[in-house]
Amino acid sequence: MQGEPVNSFPRLAPEAERGEVRRITVVGEEILHRRCREVTEFGSPELAKLIDDMFATNQVAEGAGLAANQVDVDLQLFVWDITDDWGVRHVGHIANPVLDEVPAEHRRLVEEPEGCLSVPGPYRVVPRLDRAVVRGRDKDGDPLVIEGRGYFARCLQHETDHLRGHLYVDRLAQRERKAALREMRDTQDEVFARRAAVARQLGK
C-alpha cells in the first residue's frame, strides 16, 4: 500500500495553503446525482490547481474528504485530510478510484454516524466496511493503491460513492432520508456561517 510516513506535517496542508475556496454543491444539484467522467489529462497545471482548491475548500468546511463534483467539477477525483481511529493523519488525493471487492467471508460492517459537506448539518448512521482498498492514479497519472481502516475506510467509501453519483442519504430508508433533509434545511445557514468564519481565520 502506498503512502509516505513523515515525522511531522503542517496543520494546514501545503495544497490547502495554495488553494482557493470554491462553492460546495448541495444535495439536489444535478452534478451530485450522476456518475462523473474519468480523468484523462494528467500532469496539467489545471488538475494541480483543482486539487489545491479542493484541499482549501475541504479545510474551510472542516471536512474529512471532498470529491470534485462537490465543487461542481465533473471528474472522478477526490482528496482527503483525515485523522484515523488510531490518531494517524492521512493526506492525499486519487483520480479514477475503484474500490476492491471484499470477499463475503472477510466483510465486517460497522454502523457509525456519517455526515457530508453537501448535506450540511445532519449526521445519520450508515453501515460501511471497516476496511477499504482503493486503486487509481495520482495527479501525474502514476498508479496509486490506498488502504484505509475504520474512519479512513469510511471516508474512502463515502468519497468513491460521490463519484458514482451517490450521497450517504441515498443509503437511508426513505423516512430517515426525508428527516435528514429537513434537518439540513433547518441547520444549513449555521453551517455556512461557520465555514465563512473559518475562511476568514485562514485568510481565504
Report the CATH number that the domain containing residue 50 is assigned in CATH. Answer: 3.90.45.10
Q: What is the pLDDT of residues 41-66, one digit of tens each?
A: 999 999 999 999 999 999 999 999 99
Q: What is the pLDDT of residues 115-170, one digit of tens each?
A: 999 999 999 999 999 999 999 999 999 999 999 999 999 999 999 999 999 999 99
Give the pLDDT band of residue 5 (cuts 50, 70, 90).
low
User: Average pLDDT, whole number, for the chain?
Assistant: 96
pLDDT at 6 over 70: no
114 catalytic? Reply is no
User: Does the pTM of the predicted model rise above 0.75?
Assistant: yes
Q: Known binder of ligand: residue 93?
A: no
Q: What is the pLDDT of residues 159-203, one digit of tens each?
A: 999 999 999 999 999 999 999 999 999 999 999 999 999 999 999
Residue 103 lies in a domain: yes
Residue 3 lies in a domain: no
- The one catalytic residue in 38, 62, 159, 183 is 159
Give the pLDDT band of residue 3 (cuts 50, 70, 90).
low
Q: Known binder of ligand: residue 33?
A: no
pLDDT at position 157, please? 99
Q: What is the pLDDT of residues 7-45, one digit of tens each?
A: 668 889 999 999 999 999 999 999 999 999 999 999 999
Domain that holds residue 36: 15-198
Residue 1 lies in a domain: no
Residue 7 lies in a domain: no
One-letter-per-residue 3-state SS of the chain: CCCCCCCCCCCCCHHHHHCCCCCCCCCCCHHHHCCCCCCCCCCCHHHHHHHHHHHHHHHHCCCCEEEHHHHCCCCCEEEEEEECCCCCEEEEEEEEEEECCCCHHHCCEEEEEEEECCEEEEEEEEEEECEEEEEEECCCCCEEEEEEECHHHHHHHHHHHHHCCCCHHHHCCHHHHHHHHHHHHHHHHHHHHHHHHHHHHHCC
Residue 203 lies in a domain: no
Residue 154 lies in a domain: yes
Residue 99 lies in a domain: yes
Domain count within the chain: 1
